[in-house]
Amino acid sequence: MLRALFALNHGQPSKAIELLQATLRCELGTPGSSYNGNFGSLYPVYVRGEAYLAAHQGAEAAAEFQKILDHRGILISDPAGALAHLQRARAFVMSGDAAKAKSAYQDFLTLWKDADQDIPVLKQAKAEYAKLQ
């Protein structure tokens, strides 16, 4: 996964996707570092979703983020679970599905309704959502 992140950060989403193929067989597992809160679980899925976004493959990205939402119990309190809603919304925008994008943005914004309104990712999500209105 770290090699995939490196590739992604260097503008090589296809290479990142290729590197993450090795994680498919164990992606629903829990890493050894999961003792306190399951942080790190499903990160390969999240990074694969980001790689698909970077490769402009919205449908594939949405499917990866949906995997995270389908297995929220693995993540427990990991922020990747909440951010999967936002990334899924972005994937739907990329795919041209405005109705699903609006719904996914609403899910994210509802989840973050009590968050500090100055958090950059929340401000960005609100701006992106407003463009869909």
Q: Mean pLDDT across the stretch 65-73?
A: 86
CB 51 within 8 A of CB 20: yes
**Per-residue pLDDT tens over the stretch 109-125:** 999 999 999 999 999 99
Whole-model pTM above 0.85? no
Q: How far is CA 78 from CA 9, 36, 41, 67, in A?
A: 22, 10, 8, 15
Residue 56 pLDDT exceeds 90:
yes
CATH number of the domain within which 64 lies: 1.25.40.10
Helix crossing, 98-111 with 120-132: angle to 10°?
150
**Per-residue pLDDT tens over the stretch 1-35:** 889 999 999 999 999 999 988 877 666 665 555 45
- Count of domains observed in the chain: 1
Boundaries of domain holding 54 = 2-132
Sign of CA dihedral 94, 97, 102, 103: negative
DSSP structural state of residue 16: H
DSSP string, 54-82: HTT-HHHHHHHHHHHHHTHHHHTT-HHHH
